[in-house]
């Protein structure tokens, strides 16, 4: 089922906000069109002439509505001058296709980890979304992620996956309490070593927060440092280059 934008006040509200900055056409596509992550809730590609929002047509209206608001908020944050994540070109260009894929995934996870705390906060406070339905679904997605995690991998790769778990986990602390507790409890069972490191990282960023572009930049820098330090402790070299070559750039607000 495709959702009808005009039937959602929440989507109208977020679109109105986007239109202050960005007048591009929006295309909605089924997430099935993306080769990877067909079971994800959504995604956005705003690198082209049109903005393309991917939704999971198998999900109920409330979930697709939230996903749509969520993806548009990602674009709005960039216009508001929140930091962006990129990779040093010189490093990236010399990588194999496989490594490039890993890097692109790491960048996506990093962007989500610094933007989701703000996005969830706005979703809860500025919109009338079905919060319970949406965060229950978030928890389901994350538990599936744990279950899919490979365990029979080389030690280096295992700790690289842990680094990604730590990065992805930052958002768990910003779910409404009931859902936060639930996903963290499952995380502690599936990946105890990463979980312990996540708790420590959250303590470091808790008071810095993500409330404006400056605090978001500071938290992003703390996260990067923590992930690299974790890798060093586990003896990672090649995988740690990925994080070391990731650049956090201060954004520029669109006037």
Count of positions on this chain that bind Zn ion (CB under 5 A): 1
CA end-to-end span of the chain = 37
Closer CB to Zn ion, residue 72 or residue 236?
72
Burial label, 192 (beta-carbon count in 10 A; 0-12, 13-18, 19+): exposed
Cβ distance 169 to 194 under 8 Å? yes
Compute the least distance from the CB of residue 70 to Zn ion, in Å: 5
* Helix, strand and coil in the chain, % to nearest 5: 65, 10, 25
Of residues 89-118, which lie at the interface with Zn ion (CB under 5 A)? 112
Of residues 67-86, which lie at the interface with Zn ion (CB under 5 A)? none
Compute the least distance from the CB of residue 115 to Zn ion, in Å: 6
Compute the least distance from the CB of residue 229 to Zn ion, in Å: 26
Residue at shortest CB range from Zn ion: 112
Compute the least distance from the CB of residue 88 to Zn ion, in Å: 24
What gap in Å lies between CA 161 and CA 157, rounded to an integer? 6
Closer CB to Zn ion, residue 66 or residue 160?
66
Of residues 147-186, which lie at the interface with Zn ion (CB under 5 A)? none
Compute the least distance from the CB of residue 94 to Zn ion, in Å: 29
What gap in Å lies between CA 135 and CA 126, rounded to an integer? 16
DSSP calls for 68-132:
HHHHHHHHHHHHTT--EEEE-HHHHHTS-HHHHHHHHHHHHHHHHHHHHHHHHHHHHHHS---HH
Closer CB to Zn ion, residue 74 or residue 234?
74
Closer CB to Zn ion, residue 169 or residue 240?
169
Closer CB to Zn ion, residue 112 or residue 247?
112
- Which residue ranges make up the site for Zn ion (CB under 5 A)? 112
């Amino acid at each position: 089922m495709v959702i009808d934008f005009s039937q959602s006040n929440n989507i109208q509200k977020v679109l109105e906000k986007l239109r202050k900055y960005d007048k591009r056409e929006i295309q909605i596509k089924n997430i099935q069109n993306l080769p990877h992550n067909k079971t994800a809730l959504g995604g956005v590609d705003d690198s082209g002439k049109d903005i393309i929002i991917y939704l999971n047509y198998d999900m109920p209206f409330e979930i697709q509505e939230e996903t749509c608001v969520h993806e548009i908020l990602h674009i709005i944050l960039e216009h508001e001058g929140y930091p962006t994540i990129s990779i040093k070109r010189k490093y990236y260009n010399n990588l194999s296709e496989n490594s490039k894929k890993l890097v692109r995934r790491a960048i996506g996870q990093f962007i989500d980890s610094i933007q989701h705390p703000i996005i969830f906060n706005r979703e809860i406070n500025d919109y009338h979304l079905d919060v319970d339905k949406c965060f229950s679904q978030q928890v389901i997605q994350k538990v599936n992620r744990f279950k899919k995690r490979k365990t029979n991998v080389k030690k280096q790769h295992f700790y690289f996956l842990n680094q990604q778990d730590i990065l992805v986990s930052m958002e768990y602390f910003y779910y409404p309490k009931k859902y936060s507790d639930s996903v963290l409890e499952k995380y502690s069972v599936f990946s105890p070593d990463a979980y312990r490191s996540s708790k420590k990282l959250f303590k470091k960023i808790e008071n810095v927060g993500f409330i404006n572009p400056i605090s978001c930049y500071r938290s992003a820098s703390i996260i990067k440092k923590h992930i690299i330090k974790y890798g060093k402790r586990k003896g990672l070299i090649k995988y740690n280059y990925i994080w070391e070559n990731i650049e956090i750039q201060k954004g520029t607000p669109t006037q």
